[in-house]
Amino acid sequence: MGGRSWRQRVWLLLQLTKREIAERYQGTALGALWPLLFAVASLALYTFVFSVVLKVRWSLPGDAAARPFEFALILYTGLVPYLVCAEMINRAPALVLAVPNYVKKVPFPLDILPMVTLGSSLFHSAINVFLLVALTGLAWGTISWSLLLLPLVYLPLVLLCLAIGWTLSAVGVFFRDVGQIAPLAAQLLLFGTPIFYPPEMVPAPFDTVLALNPLTPVVNAFRAVILFGTAPDWTAWILGCVVFGGICVLAHGLFRRLRPSFADLM
């Protein structure tokens, strides 16, 4: 019975994720091409603004001279995990509030809602990664073996996002102000993560705050395997999996504990 219930949840997760992705582009002329076009346009914009206008240089390890588009690639690679996390932060507080019928009338596994949001975000993240890999392959004429480690690099990010999703979606039912605070938190996370600047540029004591940012080692790992052609910092990866995994379990437990009270507050 338990195995059948698990299979039903997985089937439901896949169906809801596919529906969410389809609904986002339903009725548009270009349909599913929009995520790729958005990624291409964003990367072109970053290249023009930072490399051409501001003339910022941030070279890859081993490069004697920074090429104009390298900063844009490094920046965009840092944005890949951030965008997944930011979408969860922004959307999670309203996930349960948006489906009152599921809460009150229909027996529905509400804890699957953050997983659906994460699945949709990972779909768009895969498009961004595909674009980055294609461009780096064209630029340097080769694709590094380290890309095989990319699924492992996603694991801490997935655990972190699920922990955020379950926590904010549950707390958001009780405190509606969470939905107003979430965009500010996502903005602070953007500038508090070494996306637009190298970590070594941050002076003390702010470098300690940067090191405590849970997204910092994730961004560093993405850059290592996609751009730098190296393995991630395994110590940081293991620590991230253990810590985020533990928080994820606690967050899911919090969601399940608060679940019976949702109907009374909607």
218-243 residue pLDDT tens: 999 999 999 888 999 999 999 999 99
Beta carbons within 10 angstroms of residue 5's beta carbon: 10
Of 41-55, 70-84, 117-131, 148-162, the range with the highest mean pLDDT is: 148-162
pLDDT tens digits, one per residue of 95-140: 999 988 888 877 788 999 999 999 999 998 998 898 888 888 877 7
Q: How high does pLDDT run on average in the chain? A: 85
How does pLDDT run across 186-222, given as a tens digit for each residue?
999 988 898 888 877 778 777 787 888 999 999 999 9
pLDDT band at 1 (very low <50, low <70, confident <90, very high): very low
Q: What is the pLDDT of residue 90?
A: 94
Mean pLDDT for 152-170 is 97
Q: Where residue 182 falls among pLDDT bands split at 50, 70, 90?
A: very high
Give the number of domains in the chain: 1
Residue 59 or residue 253, greater confidence: 253
pTM of the model: 0.88
Higher pLDDT, 146 or 41: 146
CB atoms within 10 A of CB 37: 11
Q: Residue 171 above 50 pLDDT?
A: yes
Instruction: State which residues form the domain around 124.
Output: 2-265
DSSP letter for 228, please: I
Smallest CA-to-CA distance from 94 within 163, 180, 159, 26 is with: 180
For residue 40, pLDDT over 80 is answered with no
The two structure tokens encoding residue 223 = 């850059």
Q: Which residues contact 194 (CB under 8 A, 6 or more apart)?
A: 78, 202, 210, 216, 219, 220
Which one, of 189, 191, 217, lies nearest residue 202 by Cα? 191
